Structure 1
Amino acid sequence: MKPIQTFMFLLLSLVLVACSSIKVDRDFDPGYQYTSLSRYAWLPQADNKGDYDKDSLQDRRIRAAVDHTLAAQGYEQVSPDEADFLIHYFTGSKTRRDETHVTVGMGYHTLPWTMGARTETRVRDYEEGQLTLDIIEPSSRQLIWRGVAKRRLPEKSSPEKRTAFIQEAVQETLKAFPPDSVVN
Structure 2
Amino acid sequence: MGRKDTYMQFRKLIGISLFVIAWTIGAFADQVAVDYDHAANFQQVKTYSWSKVHTFNSIWDQRVKDAVDRELARKGWTQVPSGGDVQLVAVEKTSIHQQYDTFYNGFGGWRWGGMGDTTTEINNYKVGTLIVTMFNGNSRQLIWRGTSRSDLSGNPEKNNKKLNKDVDKMFKTFPPRTAS
TM-score clears 0.5? yes
Task: Give deviations 1:1-34, integer Å, cap 9, x for gaps.
Answer: xxxxx9xxx8xx7799469621122222111112
Q: Which residue of 2 aligns with 1:41?
A: 49
Whole-Å separation in 1 of the counterparts to 2:75 and 2:68: 11
Aligned partner letter, 1:32 = A
SS in 2 for 1:141: coil
Q: Give the Cα–Cα distance (whole angstroms) in 1 for the partners of residues 166 and 111 of structure 2.
A: 53
Q: 1:109 to 1:178 in 2, by over 3 A?
A: farther
Equivalent residues in 2 for 1:14-163, closer than 5 Å: 17=25, 21-43=29-51, 48=52, 51-52=54-55, 56-81=58-83, 83-102=84-103, 105=105, 107-109=107-109, 112=112, 121-154=120-153, 156-158=154-156, 160-163=157-160
TM-score normalised per structure 1: 0.70
Structure 1 residue corresponding to 2:165, chosen from 158, 163, 168: 168
Indicate the percent of aligned positions where both proteins have the same amino acid: 25
CA contact (8 A) 1:26 1:148 kept: yes
Quote how far apart the aligned CAs of 1:108 are: 1.6
Over 3 Å counting, the alpha-carbon distance change for 1:20 and 1:75 in structure 2 is: farther
TM-score by length of 2: 0.71
Report how far residue 35 of structure 1 moved: 1.9
Distance 1:17 1:94 in 2: 22
8 Å contact from structure 1 (residues 19, 152) kept in 2:
no
Cα distance change of structure 1 residues 57 and 122 upon mapping to structure 2, 3 Å threshold: same
Partner SS for 1:79: coil
Contact 2:54 2:61 (C-alpha < 8 Å) held by counterparts: no
Q: What's the RMSD between the two structures over aligned residues?
A: 3.5
Structure-2 separation of matches of 1:161 and 1:15: 22
Q: Secondary structure at the match of 1:80?
A: coil
Instruction: Count the aligned residue pairs.
Output: 164
Deviation of 1:179 (Å): 2.8
User: What is the CA distance between 1:92 and its match in structure 2?
Assistant: 0.5
The whole-number CA distance in structure 1 between the counterparts of 2:26 and 2:124 is 16
- Give structure 2 stretches of 5+ with no counterpart: 1-13
Gaps of 5+ in 1: 1-5
* Contact 1:27 1:145 (C-alpha < 8 Å) held by counterparts: yes
